[in-house]
Amino acid sequence: MHQQLNKKINRVPNKTAQNQHISYTIIHAIPGRIRFRIPQIARDSEYANKLKRLIESDTIATNVRINPAAASIVINYQPGVISDNQMRLHLVNLIQTAPNITLPAPVTAKSVAKAIFDALINLIDGTRNINKARTAIQHKEVKTDIWERLLSGTKTAIQGLKSTIMFILPNKRSQSGKKKLGLQSLPSPAVGVDKRRLALP
């Protein structure tokens, strides 16, 4: 098992040789736990999110916590599975390669609803094709029967409902989704509105 972990670590590509170098400092390290200070975390939330997701996907890491205000990341890992020095080198490699990874598109209520409606429409289209083939076999020609009219009307209704739902649902992830990914919501910008002018007489 130890050899498999070493192979996995060696397979991580070091693509940042030609790109920017991410500066870091090891603040604290004991067997099974290491804390880095990485200035990039404080100024680049996308990098922080990528680094956290990349380390969390590693089987050796057991817990990852990021503190953007302190520009630090704490990683807990299984001690004894790999030497502390090898784990340090592995994490440094991940710190450098994190900017190069591509995160999958976030799942939103809108994307889920779209997938459901598209599946329903495809199901109706498939059923209509089967019905057309059945009527063609029975009558030697394609006829518009009651099932075709019903399925066609249902498809039109679902497409209308889909358009309405897509218009209503927001594009953004929910706040709970952001918290799960370790992102903090930024305060909303102040709007220059005079409260005295809004007061009712």
pLDDT tens readout for residues 103-146: 666 667 777 888 888 888 899 888 888 888 877 777 666 667 78
Give me the CATH topology for the region 2-100.
Alpha-Beta Plaits (3.30.70)
Average pLDDT over residues 75-104: 87
* Contact by Cβ (8 Å): 84, 76: no
Tokens describing residue 89: 């080198």
Average pLDDT over residues 77-100: 89
Residue 39 reports pLDDT greater than 90: yes
Mean pLDDT, the chain, whole residue set: 75
Q: Given phi > 0 = left and psi -120 to 50 = alpha, else beta, which region is 8?
A: alpha
The C-alpha atoms of residue 86 and residue 6 are separated, in whole angstroms, by: 8
The C-alpha atoms of residue 168 and residue 44 are separated, in whole angstroms, by: 31
Neighbours of 16 (CB within 10 A): 16
Supply the pLDDT for residue 106: 64
> How much of the chain, in percent, has pLDDT values that exceed 70?
68
Neighbours of 28 (CB within 10 A): 11
Supply the pLDDT for residue 98: 87
Residue 41 reports pLDDT greater than 90: yes
Report the DSSP beta bridge partners of residue 67.
72
**Strand runs (DSSP E) across the chain, as ranges?**
25-30, 33-37, 61-67, 72-77
Supply the pLDDT for residue 109: 77
Vertex 26, ends 20 and 28: CA angle to 5°? 160
Tokens describing residue 82: 């790999």
> What pLDDT digit, counting tens, does each position of 50-75 carry?
999 889 888 888 999 999 999 999 99
Q: Which helix (H) or strand (E) holds 174?
A: none
Supply the pLDDT for residue 173: 53
Residue 78 reports pLDDT greater than 60: yes
The C-alpha atoms of residue 83 and residue 170 are separated, in whole angstroms, by: 47
The C-alpha atoms of residue 59 and residue 17 are separated, in whole angstroms, by: 25
Residue predicted with more confidence, 179 or 23: 23
Supply the pLDDT for residue 17: 40
Give the SS3 label for residue 57. Answer: coil
User: Which residue's structure tokens are 């706040």?
Assistant: 175
Average pLDDT over residues 139-158: 79
The pairing of strands 25-30 and 33-37 is antiparallel
The C-alpha atoms of residue 79 and residue 32 are separated, in whole angstroms, by: 5
> What pLDDT digit, counting tens, does each position of 21-37 carry?
889 999 999 999 999 99
Supply the pLDDT for residue 19: 55
